[in-house]
Structure formats: structure tokens, C-alpha cells
Amino acid sequence: MIDFTLTDKQLEIQAKYRDFTKRWITPNALKFDELAEFPWPVVKAAYEEGIMNGPLPTQFGGNGYSLIEGAIAAEELGAGCIGIGIGIEANTLALTPLLLVANEWQQKEFYGRIHEEKGVAAYALTEPNAGSDVQGIKSTAIKHGDKYILNGHKRFITNAEVSTFMTVFALTDPERGSRSLSAFIVPTNSPGVEIKPHLMKMGQRASVQNEIIFHDVEVPATHLLGREGEGFLIAMKTFDRTRNGVGALALGAARTAYETARDWAKNRIQFGKPIAAQQAIAFMLADIDVLIETSRLLVYRSAHAYDAGLKEASKLSAMAKLYASDSAMKVATDAVQIMGGDGYSRDFMVEKIMRDVKLNQIYEGTNQVQRVVISKSILK
């Protein structure tokens, strides 16, 4: 029996995040898009209202959310502003390796620190020559006694300049290449961490990204996550869990674009009647609604597969990210079209959403890379 009815707990999560988005994210979305600054006041409020760190264990101040609960929450954040939503959700990306492999001391220490400081964390994987090709990573962390000495260059790292610590991927034995890729927790204020000014970009401007240079940074050996050489697996398993959220954020933004364009089309009179009465516009709205419904189905299906520990969860998370973000791009572009010149102006949210959702097709593995993941899974 398949039941698509949300449980009371899921409805409660949806209502809580919808209400927070209405009060804190939607009213601040255009402001932080314009400022291109990390939205600290919103993140502080999110901490106060139990919105941050959804999947963290409850004993460390999180909500202990399953993936389906996290997806319901992320759709609501995305409905307000993906940029602000990513400021909140990138914490989840950075902390997921801890969820997967951290020992008891690491959990207490790092979850504790983030919660106490009401801070954010960053996930530092990408390098100038290692974007889609994670195996091209060149940063090194060489063991000397009870420390690793970290050197290297990362870029596009979300939240870096505002983070308490970063989850950093580096090679412990460069001769063994990516087979020695390992994950570490690196406090951002460690001597030798150089963070460049944040990137100026097209959309999701409330979320900040930096280039980072590590110059002989000393990292205590106790900060190694899992074992040496497990880094590639940790990175891929992290994405299996977080890609669904990228799809859910895109879905939320698509929903807002659709609702804005639909209401506009019902009220905008041209040729003596609402433009929604023209079949060309009505059919565009119908197609948009189909994309939103099908995106939600795939996001929920993928989250359910992960929570149930199904073998196809990895493939489905790639599908959910790919489909929901491609759909959101089409929805946003059509919403702008339906609203004509007003859609293209900064007076309405659809212009911003069109810029924002483009990025969901790129980060956490481009949509071409999702197709690589899916095709490998079905052809192996």
C-alpha cells in the first residue's frame, strides 16, 4: 500500500519551516540578494527557533530529522530564498561526514562547538583542478607525530569566511593519489588558513563562497574523520545524503515561481481578459504544475529510499537532484515569460529565482555528473 499523506510530525515540520520562512526568509530575500552578504540575523533566528541543524542528533541540539523530514523542511526554505536556505543547509553538508563516521569524542567536540557558538561549518572538497573530478584533488595532509600538516588550495567553499570549522579533504600519501584521500575537521581560525574575499555571483547571493589557501596548517591527528584513505567514500556517501536537499530547495523555489506566475496570470488583463484565459498561458501553467508535482514525488521517493536503507538510494538521490533542479530552471524561466516585462524586473521574485535555481544544476556535482552517477548505476 502506498500512502502519500504526511504524518502529523511531518505536517508539524512543514508548518514550522513554512512559518519561519514567511517571517524571516521571504522578507529578507531581496535584501540579502542585493547585499551579497551572509544572512547572520536570519541564521541567528533559525538557531533560536530550532530551524538549524535539522539532521543533527537531538542530544547535540539538532532535530534528529530523517531525510524525508529534512526534504520537507528544505522545500520550505527554498520557497523563501535558496541563497539563505543554503546558508542554513550548507551546515548540514559540512556536518554529514560527522554523522557518517565521527567517533564519540569528535561528535561531542564538534557538534558541541557548533551548537554552543550558534555557528556554521563549511565543506571543503573542490579545488582549482578538481571540480567534477574529485579524484584530481592535490591538497596534502602529511602526518608528523600527533599532527597532520595541511597544504593546498580549495575554491568555491560555501560558508568558509563565516565558519567555525571546515571539513577538509586532502591526500595523506600523494604517491597513492586519491586512494589516500582523507577527511579532517580544521578549525577555521587555525594559523595558516588564508581565506580570500568571497566570490561575486549571479544568484544565491546570500550564500558566500571563498577560495582558501592552507599554508602548513597543523591539524591534530584526533581530527581525522574515519580512517586515512576513506575520504573519497565519505565524500560520495555525504552527497548520497545531501543531494536530495539540493533537489528539495529547488522544488521550493519552483513552487514560489509557479504561484507568483499563476496569480499574476489570473489578474493581468490583456485583449480584454486575463492572460490565464489564453490557452498558451494556461498550458504553460499546467506543464509547470506537472514538473513541480513530479519533482516532489522524486524528492520524497529518494528520501524514503535513503531512510529505508534501500540499495538504489544513491541513484535516486542523483535523480532527485537532477530532475528537481532541471525542472526548477524550466519553471522559473517560464514564470518570467508568463509575467512578461514585470517578470524580468527586480520588483518580483521570479527574476531572482531564475538566477538562483541555475546553481542547483551545478553544485554538489553538476547535472552531467548526476547522469554519470545514474548511468553507472544502471549499467554496472
Ligand X SMILES: Cc1cc2nc3c(=O)[nH]c(=O)nc-3n(C[C@H](O)[C@H](O)[C@H](O)COP(=O)(O)OP(=O)(O)OC[C@H]3O[C@@H](n4cnc5c(N)ncnc54)[C@H](O)[C@@H]3O)c2cc1C
State the nearest-atom distance from the C-beta of 115 to ligand X, in Å.
21
Name the one range near ligand X by CB under 6 A: 224-232, 331-339, 343-351, 365-373.
Answer: 365-373
User: In the structure grid, which three cell numbers stand for residue 225, read together?
Assistant: 574523520
Q: Which stretch in 137-145, 301-309, 331-339, 364-372 sits in contact with ligand X by CB under 6 A?
A: 364-372
CB 157 within 8 A of CB 212: yes
Question: In angstroms, what is the minimal distance from the CB of 201 to ligand X?
Answer: 6
Binding to ligand X by residue 245, rule CB under 6 A?
no
Query: How many Å apart are CA 137 and CA 129, to the nearest integer?
Result: 7
Q: How far is the CB of 90 from ligand X (least distance, A)?
A: 6
Query: Measured at CB, which residue is nearest to ligand X?
Result: 131
- Using CB under 6 A, pick the residue from 10, 26, 37, 131 that binds ligand X: 131
Binding residue for ligand X (CB under 6 A) from 63, 91, 92, 126? 126
Closest contact distance (angstroms) between CB of 378 and ligand X is 16
Q: Verify binding: residue 295, ligand X, rule CB under 6 A.
A: no
Pairing of strands 181-187, 269-270: unpaired
3-state secondary structure of 69: helix
* Residue given cell 600523494 in the structure block: 174
Single out the residue of 81, 139, 363, 373 in contact with ligand X (rule: CB under 6 A).
363
Nearer residue to ligand X within complex by CB, 132 or 345: 132
Pairwise CA distance, residues 263 & 342, whole Å = 13
Tell me how far apart the alpha carbons of residues 148 and 187 are, in angstroms, rounded to a whole number: 13
| Cα 331-337-341 angle, rounded to 5 deg | 135
Per-residue binding string, ligand X, 177-216, x by CB under 6 A, is: ------------------------x-------x-------
Over the window 79 to 118, marking each residue x when it contacts ligand X by CB under 6 A and - when it does not, the resulting string is: -----------x----------------------------
Beta strands in the chain (DSSP E): 120-124, 140-144, 147-158, 163-171, 181-187, 193-195, 209-220, 224-225, 269-270, 273-274
Return the residue of 28, 106, 158, 180 that touches ligand X, per CB under 6 A: 158
Cα 276 from Cα 278, distance rounded (Å)? 5
365 binds ligand X (CB under 6 A): yes
364 is catalytic: yes
In angstroms, what CA-CA distances link 137 with 132, 169, 182, 200?
10, 8, 11, 24
130: helix, strand or coil: strand
Residue 294 or 368: which CB sits closer to ligand X? 368
124 interacts with ligand X by CB under 6 A = yes
Cβ 288 vs Cβ 258: under 8 Å: yes
| Interaction site with ligand X (CB under 6 A) | 90, 123-126, 131-132, 156-158, 201, 209, 359, 362-366, 368-369, 372
Residues known to be catalytic: 364
